[in-house]
C-alpha cells in the first residue's frame, strides 16, 4: 500500500506512547490527515496521582467535524489513539489541570462494588429521610442492570453521535488507550472530583457499559461526559434499573434533573446517547 495512505504516527504523536521511545509506537499507524494541534502535558503545579513521563493527550487547535472523529475512530485498532470531542467552554484543556492515573489500575475496580459503596454511603447519610426519589429500590442497591439488546452497531452509533456533537464546535483529542472507556483515567479528567476522588473506578463502570450497552465515549468536557449507546434499555422496568446505575455514577443527573429514578428512567428509555454532568 502507498506510504501516503498508511504511515507511522505523524508529528509528535509518538510521544504519547512511552515518552516518545521509538519502540513505544512500533507498528502504530494513522493515515488520517490531522489539523494543527499540540500535546497536552499535566501542569506540574497541579496535584498529581502519578508522575507521567509523557503527554496525556493531543489536542487540535480548532474545532473539528464529526467526520474527522469517525475516520480517526475507524483507525483506533491500528493507531492506539481513541478520539474525543473535547468541550473547552469552561476552561482550555491546555491549562493542564488534569491528574492522569495508571490505566492498569482500572481493572482493580469492579462496577458492582463501586455501585454498592456509593449506595451504602448515601443510605447512611439519608437514614432518617424519605427514600422515595430512589423508588422502587430505596435503601437497597439493586446492583448492575442486565445487558441491553443491541439496536445497531456500536461503532456506527458512536459515529452518528459524534456528528451531532461536533456541531457544538468541539476540538479533537487523541488519547493513547486500548479502549475508549479508559480515557477518563488516561487523561486524568477531574470532572467528577466532588463525587469520586479517583477516575479509575469510573472508567471501570464505563468498561462495563461498553460490554452491556454498547456504550462508547464520544465527548468530554471539564465536568461533562457524552456517550453513544447501541443497546439502550427499552422497557420501563429495565430503564429504571439502568437509571439506578446512572445515579450511582453521577448523582447530579437525578437530583438536579427530574428528581426521581422513575422520571429519569423515562428520559433514557430507548435513548441512544447518555449525557452526564457533575457540579
Tens of pLDDT, residues 114-162: 999 999 988 877 755 555 678 899 888 999 999 999 999 999 999 999 9
At 21 the pLDDT is 53
Give the pLDDT mean for 88-95.
87
Q: Judge whether residue 5 has pLDDT over 80.
A: no
pLDDT in tens, 206-251: 999 999 999 999 999 999 999 999 999 999 999 999 999 999 999 9
pLDDT in tens, 19-68: 555 555 668 999 999 999 999 998 887 777 666 778 999 999 999 999 99
Q: Which residue, 200, 221, 216, 206, is CA-closest to 272?
A: 216
Q: Which residue, 142, 46, 135, 134, is CA-closest to 94?
A: 46
Q: Find out whether 46 and 97 touch, Cβ atoms under 8 Å.
A: yes
pLDDT in tens, 170-180: 999 999 999 99
pLDDT above 90 as % of the chain? 72
Q: Find out whether 149 and 215 touch, Cβ atoms under 8 Å.
A: no
At 19 the pLDDT is 58
At 129 the pLDDT is 58
Q: Rounded to the nearest 5 degrees, what angle is found at the Cα of 52, between the Cα atoms of 48 and 56?
A: 95
Provide the mean pLDDT of the chain: 90
Amino acid at each position: 500500500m502507498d506510504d501516503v495512505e498508511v504511515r507511522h504516527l505523524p508529528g509528535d504523536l509518538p510521544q504519547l506512547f512511552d515518552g516518545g521511545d521509538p519502540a513505544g509506537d512500533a507498528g502504530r499507524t494513522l493515515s488520517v490527515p490531522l489539523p494543527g494541534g499540540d500535546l497536552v502535558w499535566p501542569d506540574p503545579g497541579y496535584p498529581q496521582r502519578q508522575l507521567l513521563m509523557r503527554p496525556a493527550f493531543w489536542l487540535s487547535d480548532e474545532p473539528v467535524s464529526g467526520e474527522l472523529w469517525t475516520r480517526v475512530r475507524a483507525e483506533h485498532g491500528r493507531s492506539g489513539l481513541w478520539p474525543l470531542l473535547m468541550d473547552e467552554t469552561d476552561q482550555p484543556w491546555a491549562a493542564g489541570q488534569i491528574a492522569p492515573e495508571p490505566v492498569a489500575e482500572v481493572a482493580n475496580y469492579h462496577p458492582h462494588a463501586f455501585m454498592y459503596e456509593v449506595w451504602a454511603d448515601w443510605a447512611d447519610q439519608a437514614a432518617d429521610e424519605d427514600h422515595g426519589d430512589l423508588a422502587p429500590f430505596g435503601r437497597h442497591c439493586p446492583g448492575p442492570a442486565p445487558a441491553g439488546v443491541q439496536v445497531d452497531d456500536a461503532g456506527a452509533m458512536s459515529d452518528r453521535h459524534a456528528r451531532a456533537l461536533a456541531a457544538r464546535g468541539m476540538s479533537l483529542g487523541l488519547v493513547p488507550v486500548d479502549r475508549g472507556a479508559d480515557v477518563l483515567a488516561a487523561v486524568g479528567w477531574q470532572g467528577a472530583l466532588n463525587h469520586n476522588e479517583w477516575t479509575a473506578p469510573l472508567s471501570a463502570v464505563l468498561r462495563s457499559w461498553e460490554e452491556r450497552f454498547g456504550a462508547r465515549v464520544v465527548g468530554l468536557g471539564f465536568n461533562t461526559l457524552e456517550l453513544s449507546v447501541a443497546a439502550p434499555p427499552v422497557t420501563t422496568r429495565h430503564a429504571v434499573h439502568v437509571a439506578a446505575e446512572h445515579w450511582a455514577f453521577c448523582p447530579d443527573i437525578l437530583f438536579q434533573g427530574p428528581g426521581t429514578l422513575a422520571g429519569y428512567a423515562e428520559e433514557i428509555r430507548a435513548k441512544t446517547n447518555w449525557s452526564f454532568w457533575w457540579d
